[in-house]
């Protein structure tokens, strides 16, 4: 555990500071050419192959522009694409120690045009990606934009419109059982740090397979997520109306200051985040019909474990494993088949345990909590209604839609007269989902106490109802 954390911290420092000893490799063409040389004519593929062989950490400077990947890797006898692992064709293979620094995610795009993912980080490799937009990756197995088997850090990135589409009959194990497609945008099997990322409009469908895992992200390794959003991702096309598992964790995940919204379908129905491993979720918001499922992904392995701190969920929280909750708000989620009935939090089963300190719900018949607000009054007395801005004027699942939604609709503001304000019990986080400091005097009684949920009502707002 400690060595991988060290490597990720090292790469993070490089991404934040830009400090590298060697001269950066400068990409000079947007064409997907390849001759293995990076001189006055240097494609992104050339730069990566040269950097892979450098024997030390190298930076690649990727100027503004669109970089379509057009070099096909060919097909096998069954017509399935060959996963060529040298980086000469198909996806971009990271085999060494590389940092790719774009001009900004609004201006530098790597675009898939083939039946291939965009980037694969191989075992023992170290990779950093900063200020880049990844779009159009297409895999038949895992990770539409990125498959990570090494040590990767992504910062200030968009992952938009990538997909994993598993063909009918593809992916059988030795017993003949169907193997799931995983990670519409990202499949992580090692160590991944994700900062300031927007995963939107990614798709996962596995034809005749029994289930799909993670329309945006699948994690079977070690995952850290900060200041990120999962919106408008979809899986299993036959159900497109309600929340599906945009992020599936069967490894170890630490997620903070993030939000989940408008993700659709999936085997597990009304959830955006499925935990079958070890999860810490803090200062984050889960929206309508899109909460969290904590349960085994299979009959093997340890009982899943989830710790939720300062979480606001107006989606259902379902616990079938071990769950600890502190200073959180699960309220206002309607039962899918009866919109007037609350379905905030359910816990039970032979392996279930549930401990809560400072939990508020609108469902007294569900998980044990310290306070309750009437279901019909959640958005009158407890929270302000969500402000979605002009998101409805853009196609759902598009980047413009997600950016508009995230401007003011990534959180729910508590009302001063509500039960969540200045109601935290015991210790609390030092900041909220928007990185505002805690505690503040949200009810103007001159005694600052942390609020329940992801957002801290500020002292300046205390005069408002």
- Could you give the dihedral angle defined by the CA atoms of residues 367, 288, 306 and 245, in that order, rounded to the nearest 10 degrees? 130
Q: Which residues pair with residue 16 across a beta bridge? A: none
Residue 70: burial class (beta carbons within 10 Å; 0-12, 13-18, 19+) = middle
Given this model, what pLDDT does residue 462 score?
47
Q: How far apart are CA 310 and CA 439, in angstroms?
A: 12
Given this model, what pLDDT does residue 267 score?
53
Taking the chain (465 residues) in runs of 10, the rounded mean pLDDT of each run is 46 53 90 96 98 95 98 81 86 97 98 93 97 96 95 98 84 57 94 98 76 87 98 73 79 98 72 94 91 86 95 94 98 80 91 97 91 94 95 95 95 93 94 95 90 87 49
| Residue 50 parent element (H or E) | helix 44-52
SS3 298: coil
Given this model, what pLDDT does residue 337 score?
72
Segments making up each domain of the chain, as ranges: 285-465
| Residue 5 parent element (H or E) | helix 2-17
DSSP per position, 372-441: E--GGGIIIIIBPPP--TTGGGS-TTSHHHHHHHHHH-SS-PBPTTSTTTT---S---SB-TT--BS-B-
Q: What is the side-by-side strand order in the sheet with 291-294?
A: 92-94, 119-121, 146-148, 186-188, 217-219, 247-249, 271-275, 291-294, 317-319, 345-347
- Could you give the dihedral angle defined by the CA atoms of residues 388, 391, 392 and 397, in that order, rounded to the nearest 10 degrees? -120
């Amino acid at each position: 555990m400690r060595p991988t954390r060290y490597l990720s911290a090292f790469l993070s420092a490089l991404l934040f500071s830009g400090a590298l000893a060697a001269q950066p490799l400068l990409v000079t063409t947007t064409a997907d050419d390849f001759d293995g040389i990076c001189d006055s004519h240097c494609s992104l593929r050339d730069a990566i192959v040269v950097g892979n062989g450098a024997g030390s950490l190298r930076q690649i400077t990727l100027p503004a522009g669109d970089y379509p990947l057009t070099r096909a890797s060919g097909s096998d006898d069954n017509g399935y694409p060959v996963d060529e692992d040298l980086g000469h064709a198909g996806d971009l293979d990271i085999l060494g120690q590389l940092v790719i620094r774009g001009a900004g995610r609004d201006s530098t795009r790597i675009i898939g045009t083939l039946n291939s993912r965009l980037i694969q980080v191989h075992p023992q490799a170290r990779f950093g990606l900063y200020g880049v937009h990844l779009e159009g990756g297409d895999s038949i197995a895992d990770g539409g934009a990125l498959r990570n088997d090494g040590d990767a850090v992504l910062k200030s990135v968009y992952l938009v419109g990538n997909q994993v589409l598993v063909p009918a009959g593809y992916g059988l194990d030795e017993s003949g059982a169907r193997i799931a497609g995983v990670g519409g945008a990202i499949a992580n099997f090692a160590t991944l740090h994700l900062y300031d990322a927007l995963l939107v409009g990614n798709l996962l469908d596995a034809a005749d397979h029994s289930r799909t895992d993670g329309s945006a992200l699948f994690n079977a390794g070690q995952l850290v997520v900060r200041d990120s959003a999962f919106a408008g991702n979809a899986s299993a096309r036959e159900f497109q109306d309600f929340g599906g598992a945009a992020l599936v964790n069967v490894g170890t995940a630490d997620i903070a200051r993030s939000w989940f919204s408008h993700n659709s379908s999936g085997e597990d129905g009304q959830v955006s985040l499925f935990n079958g491993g070890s999860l810490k979720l803090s200062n984050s918001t889960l929206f309508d019909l899109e909460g969290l499922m904590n349960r085994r992904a299979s009959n093997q392995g340890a009982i899943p474990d989830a710790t939720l701190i300062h979480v606001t969920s107006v989606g259902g929280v379902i616990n079938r494993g071990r769950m600890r909750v502190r200073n959180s708000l699960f309220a206002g989620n309607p039962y899918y088949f009866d919109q007037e009935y609350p379905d905030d939090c359910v816990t039970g089963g032979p392996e279930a345990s549930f401990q809560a300190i400072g939990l508020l719900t609108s469902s007294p018949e569900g998980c044990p909590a310290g306070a309750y607000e009437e279901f019909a009054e959640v958005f009158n007395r407890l929270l302000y209604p969500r402000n979605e801005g002009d998101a409805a004027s853009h196609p759902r699942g598009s980047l413009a839609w997600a950016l508009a939604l995230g401007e003011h609709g990534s959180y729910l503001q508590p009302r001063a007269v509500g039960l969540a304000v200045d109601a935290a019990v015991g210790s609390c986080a030092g900041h909220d989902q928007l990185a505002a400091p805690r505690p503040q005097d949200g009810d103007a009684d001159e005694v600052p106490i942390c609020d329940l949920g992801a957002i801290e009502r500020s002292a300046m707002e205390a005069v408002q109802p």
